[in-house]
Amino acid sequence: MVDVANAYRQCEQVIKYHSKTFYKAFSLLPEHKRKAVWAVYAFCRIVDDIVDEGSAPHEELAFFEKEFHLFLNGKIPQGNYHFMWVALHDSFTHYDLNKDAFLDMIIGQRMDLVKTRYNTVEEVLTYSYHVASSVGLMLLPILAPNKVEELREGAIALGLGMQLTNILRDIGDDLARDRIYLPRDLMDRYQYSEQNLQKGLMNQNFINLWEHLAKEAEQHYKKAMETMNEYPIYSRTPVKASAVLYGEILSKIRKKQYKVFDEKQYVSNEEKSIILSRISG
């Protein structure tokens, strides 16, 4: 059995490799809270990778969900993800983590196995809640243990903004997986067809469609910011930083003339450092 310290180190490597934005933002937390965030992130990353990269994702996800229920019953599963379960067990011991949020994440990932097209914005937001807002609800007991209910709606809004940003950034990558998250009702409204999307057609209709969802994302970021000062001082800057850094991706895409079919736009490390210094200053 891997020791707890090593388990957390492995979780840290997962987030450090897969999400430099979150790693940079949440590295500002006190150590014990930072490690719990690493454990939660590792859970989310693993279940996401099962769906996106697993050789038999339906079976692997069902097995992972079974492992989580064993975990909830006090057993630490063995196998490839043992380190994550060890770290997560320690985090559950120290924080009143919301098991329903973890289950919602699994539900959201299962959506990707059965649904590749979305008809309405509401459907996209429901999906976004499960795969992104659930993360905020997982983290709240770590980041603001005495303000969980007060911050719930803001955390949900932040997740929605981030996932809409992911969708707008990852259009090309998602197409390669035969997934389209741009909702049919908006595509019809802006007279932009799936055939146009498959061709990577960049025209004003596409820009109008993209901007509609970008403004929706920005409204969710704005709502999240309204309660930002309710976070304790130690977690306020990391949460705000993650919101601002993620929102900056939208600005980056605009500066790059909406190139989302063949390029993936990022905020550079230098830009992140400037933004973080501005926030923490």
Instruction: Give pLDDT tens digits for 126-135.
Output: 999 999 999 9
pTM: 0.93
Quick check: is 197 in a domain?
Answer: yes
Find tokens 């996209």 and name the residue.
124
List pLDDT tens digits, range 26-49.
Answer: 888 999 999 999 999 999 999 999
Residue 90 · residue 4 · CB < 8 Å: yes
Quick check: is 122 in a domain?
Answer: no
> Which CATH number belongs to the domain containing residue 263 in this structure?
1.10.600.10
181 closest CA partner among 209, 218, 153: 209
Quick check: is 239 in a domain?
Answer: yes
Please report the pLDDT score of residue 216 as a whole number. 97
How large a percentage of the chain has pLDDT more than 90? Answer: 81
Quick check: is 241 in a domain?
Answer: yes
Please report the pLDDT score of residue 27 as a whole number. 84
Quick check: is 47 in a domain?
Answer: no
The whole-angstrom separation of Cα 150 and Cα 224 is 12
Res. 1 pLDDT band, cuts 50 70 90: low
Quick check: is 164 in a domain?
Answer: yes
How large a percentage of the chain has pLDDT more than 70? Answer: 99
Instruction: Please tell me the total count of domains within the chain.
Output: 1
List pLDDT tens digits, range 55-70.
Answer: 899 999 999 999 999 9
pLDDT at 279 over 80: no
The whole-angstrom separation of Cα 140 and Cα 137 is 5
Quick check: is 103 in a domain?
Answer: no
45-49, 78-82, 157-161, 172-176: range with lowest mean pLDDT: 78-82
Please report the pLDDT score of residue 21 as a whole number. 75
Res. 266 pLDDT band, cuts 50 70 90: confident
Quick check: is 117 in a domain?
Answer: no
Q: How many residues does the chain have?
A: 281
Structural domain range at position 174 = 144-269
List pLDDT tens digits, range 226-249.
Answer: 999 999 999 998 899 889 989 999
